[in-house]
Amino acid sequence: MQLHALSNPAPVSGAVVTTARQEEQAEIARALEAAANGNFSVRIEGDDPLSRAARALIARCAADSQTGLEHCVTFAIGANQTGLSCANLLINTEDLNLAAQEIAVGMEEIATSIQQTNESVRHVRDLTQEMTARTREGQEHAAAAVQGMSASGAAVGAAFDRVNGLQTATHHIDQIVETIANVAQQTSMLAVNASIEAARAGAAGRGFSIVAQEVKSLSEQTAKATDMARQRMSALREEVSSIAGGLSRAVEAVEIGATAVQDINQRMRLIAQGCGQIEGDMVDSADALGEQATVTQSAADKVTAICGGVETCLNSTQELIAANDTALSVVSEDMARYAKLDLPAKVLHLAKADHVIWKKRLADMFAGRLNLDPGELSSHHSCRLGKWYAASGAELYGDLADFKALEHPHRVVHSAGVAAAEAFMRGDRHEAFRLMGIVESASVEVIRLLDRLIASGR
């Protein structure tokens, strides 16, 4: 048996080698299985070609997975940033669309108003033309009235001159009447003297006495007639004086009337000139308004076309967002698979994408594409980065200043985001967008600090 054992030592050595190889193969199998499950930390200690090949394969898979994670996160950040930009573009485009529609309606109203104003101006122009014609007719009538007043003034003046001549004639008649009255008085006195002389003559003077009596009677009749003429001439003088006063007032009235009519004529001439100027201005205004109406209508048509372009842009933006969301859904699935792998700084890479996704969800809410309940939004303690920050992150990076500085902007991202969602829900868009700006600034700082932690190589 010893000879047999000595002569056959190989089987014992072969069994040992086989067992060692089986252990190495089992170690390789465990490492490969762990790598297949995303755990690249299981080590292969063997130095044989298979072990080296397996280590190289697992290292390559780990490196490819790390690169894939980084590329996936980079793509996710870019796609989410694109989605965020598209959501903002959608919001702005919708606002622009509403504004353009309001402008279009306003331009239509302005065009209608200008058209109505143009019609009113043309109507006023027609009325002004008619008023100009009437004013010129009035001016002609006023000129004729001036001529008539001048003729009347001349006639009244001539009558006044004649009345003045009549007054002079009545004065002369008064003088004649007075002379006759004096002659009659003297004749009566002579007749009395003749009667006395005839009485002295007796019978011889009787005939002369009769003549004296006749002369006295005639002188008395003449005196009576003279008194009557004097009374009538006095009444005539009063009538002539009254007529002269009336004619004097008539002359003054005619002169005043002529002056007034001349003033009216002058004013009518000025009115006619003003109406002519207004008519010219109205014609110019009507032409300008007509041109403005055409320009405004053209502008309104262009604004309407802009509304159509904005509507097309709005639809294209929505289609772009839909396509981007489809790509993001695929990337999200890849990120979910990478999240299960044991890769260096995995949480830091995924946290970068998480923050961009957080911003995009808010933007989608503002764009009306997503309903978010502010009460259901995560705090900076309950998100992936927050949980990591309080646990393994503190153990691995707790001594770094960048790690310590990460807490504040991370908290601001969540608190400002929740406040923005609350402001949007109560209809305060201005405040919501202001808070969204704070979220953006804080998120940029979070990603900057995450990149610095990744670069630390821990």
Which phi-psi region, left, alpha or beta, contains residue 427 (left: φ > 0; alpha: ψ -120 to 50)? left
d(CA 310, CA 258): 74
Cβ-in-10-Å burial (0-12, 13-18, 19+) of 9 comes to exposed
What is the rounded average pLDDT of the residues 93-101? Answer: 75
pLDDT for the residue 11: 47
Mean pLDDT of 219-240: 78
Residues 52-66: tens digit of each pLDDT: 888 888 888 888 888
* pLDDT top residue among 390 and 147: 390
Residue 1 pLDDT: 31
Between residues 384 and 90, the one the model is more confident about = 384
Which sign, positive or negative, has the C-alpha torsion 299, 303, 304, 308? positive
Cβ-proximal residues to 97 (8 Å cutoff; 6+ apart), any chain: 307, 310, 311, 314
What pLDDT sits at residue 7?
36
Comparing C-alpha atoms, which of 452, 107, 434, 14 is closest to residue 302? 107
Between these two residues, 186 and 385, which has the higher pLDDT value? 385
Q: Give per-residue pLDDT as tens, 253-306.
A: 777 877 877 777 777 777 777 777 777 777 777 777 777 777 777 777 877 787
- The gap from C-alpha 124 to its chain's centroid, in whole angstroms, comes to 27
Whole-number percent of the chain with pLDDT over 70? 93
Superfamily of domain 144-303: Methyl-accepting chemotaxis protein (1.10.287.950)
Residue 190 to residues 184, 194, 202, 339, 399, Cα–Cα distance (Å): 10, 6, 18, 171, 171
Burial code (b: 16+ CB inside 10 Å, e: under 16) for 111-138 equals beebbeebeebbebbeebbebbeebbeb
CB 79 within 8 A of CB 327: yes
Other CB atoms within a 10 A radius of the CB of residue 232 amount to 12
pLDDT, position 9: 43
DSSP per position, 151-175: HHHHHHHHHHHHHHHHHHHHHHHHH
Is residue 123's pLDDT more than 60?
yes
In tens, the pLDDT along 2-42 reads 323 333 444 444 555 577 778 888 888 888 888 888 788 88
Q: What is the mean pLDDT of residues 179-189?
A: 79
Q: What is the mean pLDDT of the chain?
A: 79
d(CA 153, CA 240): 19
Predicted pLDDT at 453: 93
